[in-house]
Amino acid sequence: MARANVEQHPATGNTLIVMVGLGMAFLLFIAFLNVIKSGSLLSEANLLYAALVFYAGAGALYLGFGVTGTDSYIKFASLMTWAGLLANTGAVAHRWYEAGHPPFASIYEMLLSFVWTLAALTLIAEKRYGVKVIGTVTMPVAIVGVILMQLLPSEVRPLVPALQSTWLHVHVTLAMLAYAACALSFALAMMFLIQDKMKTEVFLAATSAFTVGIYAAVLTRFEKWGGLSVVAWDAENKAEVFVSRGVRLFVTIPDLGWLMLLVFAAVLAPLVLYILSRVKKNEGLLAVADRAVVIRDGKTVAELDGARMSEASIMDAIAYGSGEESVLAEAVDAKEGQP
């Protein structure tokens, strides 16, 4: 019986590896068909897509190793991370060639460099220091970074005169290394917390405290009658709307403030229950805190993303808000009336 159990582990590991490999092959084949139609193989978008597929496959196997401890997952996860890094390197080189300068001039380019640095440091930490489980955290971060790049303006822009300096390359290179090292240290800290068997309620309370701080900052934009003042966003150009140089246009979305207030109360509940359990020494409150429902901001983001307001509806939203936004609306109208 013991021998039979031992023989089942390789089969389970091979099953996950095969499933991940087939999924990646399917996604790459679909992309290859599109490449045949377009005739552009080594474009930046194709290279980033390939990097995303490889990083996703590596992340799945790293997570599999973290759950099951199967060593074969690490071998293939490392190979996929190397493949993703090569594709990412190609995207960085393509961008550098097209722009004529290192990819440091925009948020898009900085994310591109950050993801590359994060993947490289992950492989270094794994090979040199033997931290095999580090990819469990770093690969999902790399995946999110590549996805975020698809939401940002990607056109090549020349450097402004103030940034045309060799020191820019030194500064941004060190900054990207620092960001990636910070993400890597975060992943290591998470691994040590798990290894030290940190109590769930302590981690939940800490997460609640940080999240409360985030939503408290958001609620500083709370307006009268439950509205929330946000920066106007041009979905077509993927950029903020400015009334004049350095002055952003703010719009008030009705009733969104009440929703954010509800989210704030929900993320505050676990922290309050944890503090009460310690003060009253009632372990039963910890069980309630573990089951507390934390409403994430996904719904809020979806509602904001779905609010594709026309110019007229934006003006209505501004008129709904405070006098400051009405002044901005008049400034926009005055600007449009100029020849």
pLDDT for position 53: 93
Range of weakest confidence among 14-28, 100-114, 229-243, 305-319? 305-319
The pLDDT tens digits of the residues spanning 240-266 come to: 788 888 788 888 888 888 888 888 888
| Those residues with Cβ within 8 angstroms of residue 58's Cβ, 6 or more apart along the chain or in another chain | 77, 78, 80, 81, 84, 135, 139
What is the CATH class of 2-197?
Answer: mainly alpha
Domain residue ranges in the chain: 2-197, 202-337
pLDDT for position 118: 92
pLDDT for position 52: 93
pLDDT band of residue 318 (cuts 50, 70, 90) is: very low
The pLDDT tens digits of the residues spanning 152-196 come to: 888 887 776 766 777 777 887 888 888 888 888 888 887 777 777
| Those residues with Cβ within 8 angstroms of residue 151's Cβ, 6 or more apart along the chain or in another chain | 238
pLDDT for position 79: 94
Chain position carrying tokens 């009268």: 224
pLDDT band of residue 269 (cuts 50, 70, 90) is: confident
Six-digit token string for 147: 């996805």
pLDDT for position 261: 86
pTM of the model: 0.61
pLDDT band of residue 60 (cuts 50, 70, 90) is: very high
| Those residues with Cβ within 8 angstroms of residue 163's Cβ, 6 or more apart along the chain or in another chain | 105
pLDDT at 54 over 90: yes
